[in-house]
Each structure stands twice: as structure tokens, then as C-alpha cells.
Homo-oligomer: A and B are copies of this chain.
Amino acid sequence: MLKEVKVKALVLDKNHNTPVVILGMDNNPMVLPIWIGSCEAMALSLALENADFPRPLTHDLLINTIEALDAQVSKVVIDSLRENTYYAKLVIKDLAYSDLEDDPSAMIEIDCRPSDAIVIATKKHIPIYTSDEIMLEGGIKLNETSQKEDEKEFKKFVENMHIEDFRDYFRDIQNQNKSEKKKEGNGGEKDS
């Protein structure tokens, strides 16, 4: 059965120097951590902060393209965990085909990584779903006294990390231009 989850945190796993997005449900101690890449984490960080850029970032281009093709993003589903890798689907509604609310025949599912799904969901305020099976297999109960050393370590870093630490990790990349320049260093230009 699918359950709606929300982004609880974007943190840095210091042991592996890898960003981790933490998904969770309201009134439930289980969280689902997903280890993601640096650039994917930066895109998510900017989406979570609702950062405004003068030019469309890649996920903005994806959303704008979907809308230009008379479709809209409807929801995202993290629906599979195989060989330690999470799989997700971006669910798009083709408005040219049907404008009925929740018409299943108008829904198109596109295979994607969880990070792309979560960035799009964050930007467009659409729900993120996952299954009980995935929460059971990949989830961690934050308030539980764990017997496993690695879970204890994980709990420790989740409890101690927050987006500011993450941003420090990314300062260099964050400072990169998001508008693409003719030439830098001629004076008067700012990172945007």
C-alpha cells in the first residue's frame, strides 16, 4: 500500500561524505534515508529553499517542457528497492488526452531516480509516495533503541546534521554561476 512521505531533512553522511535525503511520515518514527549524489543534492537543496534564479535550472526546464507539451506532473512514487538501489516513477498527466481528474488512462509513468522525483515534487508541490514494503526494508526507526552499530551511527548523524552543515559542504558549488556567462572577471558581474 502506498503512503505519502515528506522530505524531513537533507543531511550529510560524514562517514561517506555523501548527501542523504531523509523521507518521513507525520506521526511515525520511521524515516527512509536515501543516499544521493552531490549535484542531485544541490538541486534538491535549492528546491527546498525555494531559491530563485534568473534562468531555469535543469529540473525547471523539465517541468516547463512537460507543461509546454500540454501535460502536468501529478505525483512521484518511490516504488522499488532492488540490489540496494531505489527506483522511482514520475507520474505525468497528459492533458491533451484527458482533463478528467485522476483519469488513469491519461497517466504516464516515467522511470527515474528518487532525487529527480523529489526535486520535481518539491518544486511543484505534488505528493511523494512510497510503499510499506520499502519503509520496512529501507526505513530506520529513529526513536528505537537499535542493536546495530551502524544504525546507531546513522541516528547520531541525522540528529546532529541539518541543512546549514550541508550548505557548507556545498559552498564551492553553490557559488557557481547559474546563469551562463560570456566571460568572467571583467568586473561588475555577480554570481546569480
Interface residues of A (CB under 8 A from B): 13, 15-16, 18, 33-40, 42-43, 54-59, 61-62, 64-66, 68-69, 71, 81, 84-87, 90, 92, 94, 96, 108, 110-116, 137-138, 150, 154, 172-173, 176-186, 189
Contact A182 B94 (CB under 8 A): no
Q: Is the interface of A mostly helix, strand, loop or mixed?
A: mixed
**A18 in contact with B92 given A56-B112, A58-B62, A58-B116 (CB within 8 Å):** no
- Complex CA distance for A186 and B35, rounded to whole angstroms: 13
Given contacts A56-B113, A114-B180, contact A186 B18 (CB under 8 A): no
A5 to chain B, nearest CB (A): 15
Is B34 within 8 A of A181, CB to CB? Answer: yes
- Contacting residues, chain B, for A154 (C-beta < 8 A): 183
Are B150 and A185 in contact, CB atoms less than 8 angstroms apart?
yes
Contacts of A138 in B (CB 8 A): 182-183
Report the Cα distance A140→B85, complex, angstroms. 46
Chain B, Cβ-Cβ closest to A153: B185
Most buried by B among A81, A108, A112, A154: A112
CB pair B113–A35 under 8 Å, yes or no, is: no
**CB distance A62 to B64 under 8 Å?**
no
Contact of A85 among B38, B176, B181 (CB under 8 A): B181
List 19 additional contacts besides A54-B85, A58-B58, A85-B181; criterion CB under 8 Å. Answer: A16-B184, A18-B176, A34-B180, A35-B184, A37-B176, A39-B173, A40-B58, A40-B180, A55-B85, A58-B116, A62-B62, A65-B90, A69-B69, A69-B108, A84-B182, A84-B189, A85-B180, A138-B182, A150-B183
